[in-house]
Amino acid sequence: MSTTEKKPKIKQKPTRIIRNNLAVIAKVARLTPGYIIAMVLEGVVYGALNACETVFMFRLFNALDENPSFELVATIIITLAVFYLIARVYTNWYWHYYHAAIQRKLIYKMHRELFEKACKMDLACYDDPVFYNDFVWAMDQSHSRAVSVIEDVGKIINRLVASGTIFSVLFTVDIPMALILLLCCVSTIVLRQYMNKVSFRHREETQSMHRHKNYINRLYYLSDYAKELRISQVDSNLMDAYWKNMNGIVDTDLRYGKIYFLWNDVVAGIIDNLTYYGILVYMVLQLAHGNVLIGGLAAAVNAVWSCRWLLSDLINRFTKFPEHSLYIEKYLTFLSHKPTIVSGEGEVEELEELVPENVGFTYPASEKKEESKENSQGEAQEQAKESPKASLTNVSLTIKRGEKVAFVGYNGAGKTTLTKLLMRLYDPSEGRILYNGRDLKELSLEQLRSHIGAVFQDYRLFGATIAENVLGDVFDGTAEQEAAVKAALHAATFDEKLEHLPDGIHTLLTREFDDKGVNLSGGESHKVAIARCFAHPYELMILDEPSSALDPLAEYELNHAILQKADEKTVIFISHRLSTTRMADRIYMFENGSIIESGSHEELMALNGKYAEMFRLQAEKYKLNE
């Protein structure tokens, strides 16, 4: 979004505001029911505590006007002291102990729900900038908004109890004075509601600029980019982009700052001060004319001070709910998202044959528009390290059990796209994919993926031990698991490096969380990622550029090791480096989303087509391996 682009006005019906806030309250009540009970009780107790001083002064001063007995005065004072002590003990327990503990429990449960939803979300959602931006908002804002709603409800109960009690006193003292305060409340509610909408528009306008700025910040402290920043001139481009976004943020802040100053400071200040000082003058005149007792005046003065704060905060809490609603709606929209990649019911048997039939596929239009990714510039750019995304047209082939198959072609030819369809990360736009004669859509998604191990070119290792990275699960320390991890690393030719690691398979990867952690080289990391395919009894292995980070000799050794260890498995290689493809039973040459040639290495060389041309261009690199 450009820095000058204006957001459309945000309109919310009261029913929509109520529905969204009630939805999050219901969720909190379901996840942490004790939170709601304790919050209501705290609101009532602390509200009464806030009002008791005004009630005390009214009762005491009026009693003094009537020459009361010592016993009556002592009773009033002792009653206040006891109630004050009990209320303080409870509210301090709530805020200093219970509140922090229950919040932690709520945040954990909400995040767990979001994480589970994210794992089931269509991969295509990450490619939709608008949805992805809202997804990030849901992750960042959901728990804090839920806590804010609960706290605001508690404070509203508090302020209503306190102000209701105080107003009941004021109406007995002077009705016009009480009505003036109520009129002030109504005008302030209207003003605050308008300013909350303005504040939300302000945040929305600057959201993409802040995220772009934060993305550039990350580039300077993440080790992934340290070398490129030092050997290239990209720094000037980044600083230009940083300056542009900072200017956009400042310009937007200044534009909205004028609105905040006019309405929050000037108009609200005039209303507040006229009300406060007007009531004081009015009450002094009433006392001078003998219309109120000294107790009424004392209560009125104290009430004005109390109500000035209580009602201001009450209005502020009420007018936050439209703002909460706008954020909650993004969260609820994310939770209500229905994935299009849904599981079938069919049992997944051992793989015998995998057949894409006339498969066509086109990525959503939003992926192809580079400018549309601006809203998710930070994370989206970090995800976009793979080859250009290509559509597929009328792709048909057959992969038999135990076959070693290679997909070759230049970047953007459609190789990786097809493997994503085979794993049902996407569904074909046309045609179908048959697993043992059954459409993939009919099969259990969880079972299907449990039969497939994959290492993509843009694989990721986690800040965990080598064992946990290989297993993709908790390492429980059993001899069986340890043997499985070591066997998998051996199959990926990681033995030599493993011998030099002080803690072996228990070595922590990356130094981000522990100085004793290890940063592996690109080739070493790739071997750990490949070991994941050998740590489980996968029947189909998909290896996207399995040796791209290795030198030719290491590549040759690794490829032989993979094929040796995967003797009975079905393997799909995706590669530009054709030393790997020579070992394949069948090679499929992709170009512009279609298969243009297929056959063994010898057959394709004899065909003297695109594959042969590509192979000859690389031939010098592989002479040692022929």
Dump pLDDT digits (tens) for 121-167.
887 777 777 777 777 777 777 888 898 899 899 989 988 888 787 77
**Is the CB of residue 238 less than 8 Å from the CB of residue 219?**
yes
What tokens were used for 517? 């952690």
Helix axes 234-260, 175-221, angle to 10 degrees: 180
| Rounded Cα gap, residues 292 and 277, in angstroms | 18
Residue 622 has pLDDT above 90, yes or no: no
What are the C-alpha distances in Å from 181 to residues 310, 315, 347, 441?
11, 12, 70, 65
> pLDDT value at position 5?
42
Relative orientation angle of helices 70-93 and 33-65, to the nearest 10 degrees: 160
How far is 48 from 34, CA to CA, in rounded Å? 21
Instruction: Say if residue 295's pLDDT is above 70.
Output: no
Q: What is residue 508's predicted lDDT score, i.e. its pLDDT?
A: 87
> What is the pLDDT confidence band of residue 472, given thresholds at 50, 70 and 90?
confident
Q: Work out the burial of residue 598: count CB atoms within 10 Å of its CB; fewer than 13 is exposed, 13-18 middle, 19 or more buried.
A: middle
Q: Which helix (H) or strand (E) holds 232?
A: none
SS (H, E, C) 333-387: HHHHCCCCCCCCCECCCCCCEEEEEEEEECCCHHHHCHHHHHHHHHHHHHHCCCC
- The pLDDT tens digits for 336-390 are 888 888 889 999 999 999 999 999 998 865 444 433 333 333 443 444 334 446 6
Whether residue 484 sits in one domain with residue 456: no
Shared-domain flag, residues 288 and 418: no
Cβ atoms 131, 141 nearer than 8 A: no
Residues 267 and 385 placed together within one structural domain of the fold = no
- Same domain? For 370 and 471 the reply is no
Cβ–Cβ contacts within 10 Å for residue 175, how many?
A: 10
Residue 391 located in a structural domain: yes
Signed CA dihedral, 594, 598, 602, 606: sign only: negative
* Chosen domain end from 335, 370, 394: 335
Give me the mean pLDDT over the 223-237 stretch.
75
Boundary of a domain, candidates 335, 365, 387: 335
pLDDT at 52 over 60: yes
Best CA proximity match to 249, nearest among 281, 207, 306: 207
**In this structure, is residue 223 part of a structural domain?**
no
Evaluate whether residue 136 is within a structural domain. Answer: yes
**CATH number assigned to the domain comprising residue 310:** 1.20.1560.10
Q: 432: helix, coil or strand? A: strand
429 lies in a domain? yes
CA dist list (Å): 59 to 79, 176, 181, 292, 538? 12, 21, 22, 14, 80
Q: Are residues 65 and 190 in the same domain?
A: yes
pLDDT of residue 142: 81
Report CA torsion sign: 385, 390, 391, 394.
Answer: negative
User: Does 328 lie in the same domain as 261?
Assistant: yes
**Which of 11-15, 342-346, 491-495, 580-584 reaches the highest mean pLDDT?**
342-346
Q: In this structure, are 560 and 596 located in the same domain?
A: yes
**Under 8 Å CB-to-CB from 418, ≥6 apart: which residues?**
356, 359, 392, 395, 407, 590
At 391, phi and psi to the nearest 5?
-80, 160
Is 452 in contact with 540 (CB distance < 8 Å)?
Answer: yes
- Which tens digit of pLDDT belongs to each residue from 576-591? 777 677 788 999 999 9
| Within a domain: 526 | no
Q: In terms of domains, do 281 and 329 share one?
A: yes
Q: What is the mean pLDDT of residues 250-270?
A: 88
Question: Domain of 425: which CATH number?
Answer: 3.40.50.300
Least Cα distance to 1 among 212, 200, 197 occurs for 212
| Tally of domains in the chain | 3
Same domain, 488 and 572: no
Report how far residue 569's alpha carbon sits from residue 331's, in angstroms, rounded to the nearest whole number: 43
Query: Is residue 503 in some structural domain?
Result: yes
Return the percentage of the chain with pLDDT > 70, whole number. 84
pLDDT at 432: 95
pLDDT one-digit tens code per residue, 325-339: 888 888 888 888 888
Selection from 509, 583, 518 nearest residue 546 by Cα: 583
Q: Please give the pLDDT value at position 346.
A: 92
Of 229, 386, 286, 314, nearest to 43 by C-alpha is: 314
Alpha helices in 369-521 (DSSP H): 377-383, 415-422, 445-450, 466-471, 479-491, 495-499
Number of residues written out for the chain: 626
Q: Which residue has the higher pLDDT, 400 or 551?
A: 400
| pLDDT recorded at residue 365 | 57
162 and 85 in a common domain:
yes
Last residue in a domain, options 290, 309, 335: 335
- Residue 603's pLDDT band, with cuts at 50, 70 and 90, is very high
Q: Which of 170-174, 274-278, 379-383 has the weakest average pLDDT?
A: 379-383
Full domain range(s) for residue 90: 14-196+247-335
Whether 603 is covered by a domain: the verdict is yes
- Angle CA(343)–CA(349)–CA(355) in degrees, nearest 5? 75
Residue 600 lies in a domain: yes
Q: Are residues 56 and 147 in the same domain?
A: yes
* Same domain membership, residue 125 and residue 154: yes
